[in-house]
Amino acid sequence: NTNRTLASDAPDLDRFRAELRRSGWADALAQARRTLEQRLASTAAGRPVEEARDTEPTAASAPGPTPPAPPQQPEQPEPEENRPMPSTATGIAAPTPEPMAGPGTDLLRFLENAAAADRVCKTHEAVRFELLAVLFRADRQPKADSPVVDAGCTTEHGHFLYEVLGAGLSTYADLRSGAARLHEINHTLEPTADRLYLVLSQPPAEDWSAAAVHDVFGVHVLWRTPQGWGGQDTATALGLDPGQA
C-alpha cells in the first residue's frame, strides 16, 4: 500500500499514483498544489492572494446575461399645497351685481315713465304745485321729490298719497285709470298709504263718477275749482278748517 511504498528506499511512482487516485485525494492535492503555487507567485509579485478556482466553467455557474436596467422615470415634482392668492390693496373690486328684473322692478319703471310723461303737461304741474302749496300752508310738510308719487304727507289721520290728473282728464274712464295707477303706486311703497286721493284739474264730467270710484276702488276724488277745492272730504284731505273747504 501507500505506507509501505513510502517506507521503502525505492518507491514505485506509478504504483503511488495509482494508490493516490484510488484514495480520492488526487484532486484535492492537485487543487492544493495550484493554490500554493498561486500564493507563492502572488507573494513574489506583491499582489494579494486570491483563492484558486476551477478554470472550467459550468452551465450552472456561468453568469447569465445582465438584464437591462429599467429606464429611469423622471422625478415628478411634488404638488404644492393650495395657497391663497395674496391680496393687494390695489386689487380690482368685484362689480356690484345689478338687481334682477322682475314684476316689481318692471312695474316701478312703468310708473316712473308714466309720471314723467304726466309732468310734461303744464296744467298737471300747476295743479300739483297748488296742491303742495295748500299742504304746506296746513303744515303737512308734503314730499314731492319722488319720481313716481305726485305728493304725499303724514297727518294725524295717517299717511296720505295724492295722484294728479292732467288737463281734460275728468271722465269716469279717466278717473278709473287714475285710481288703478294710485293702487299700483301704493303697491310699490313701504309702508303703504292709509288714504288715496285722486286730484283733478276740473270737476268730474259725470256727477256720479266720483262716488263710483270711491265705492269701487276706495279712492277719494278731489278737484280744482275757481273758488278753491271741491270733492269728497276736502277738509281732511287738505288740512283745511271746515269753513275753508
Domains of the chain, by residue range, sit at: 2-45, 106-238
Pick from 151, 137, 124, 138: nearest CA to 236: 138
Instruction: Give the angle 232-236-241 at the CA atoms, nearest 5°.
Output: 110
- Say what the pLDDT of residue 94 is: 43
What pLDDT shows up at residue 81?
55
Task: Give CA–CA dist 152/128, Å, rounded.
Answer: 11
In DSSP terms, 161 is beta-bridged to 152, 196
Contact 185, 111 (CB under 8 A): yes
E strand segments, the chain: 151-155, 158-164, 195-200, 220-225, 228-231
- DSSP letter at 157 equals T
| C-beta separation of 134 from 239 below 8 A | yes
pLDDT along the chain (245 residues), means of 10: 54 70 75 83 65 46 55 58 51 43 78 94 96 94 91 93 96 98 94 96 97 97 94 91 63
**pLDDT at residue 230, as a whole number:** 95
Distance of alpha carbon 150 from alpha carbon 127, whole angstroms: 10
| Chain Cα centroid distance, residue 95 | 13
3-state helix, strand, coil in the chain (%, to 5): 40, 10, 50
Pairing of β 228-231 and β 195-200: unpaired
Q: Which residues contact 215 (CB under 8 A, 6 or more apart)?
A: none
pLDDT at 83: 58
Parallel, antiparallel or unpaired: strands 151-155 and 220-225: unpaired
- Predicted pLDDT at 55: 47
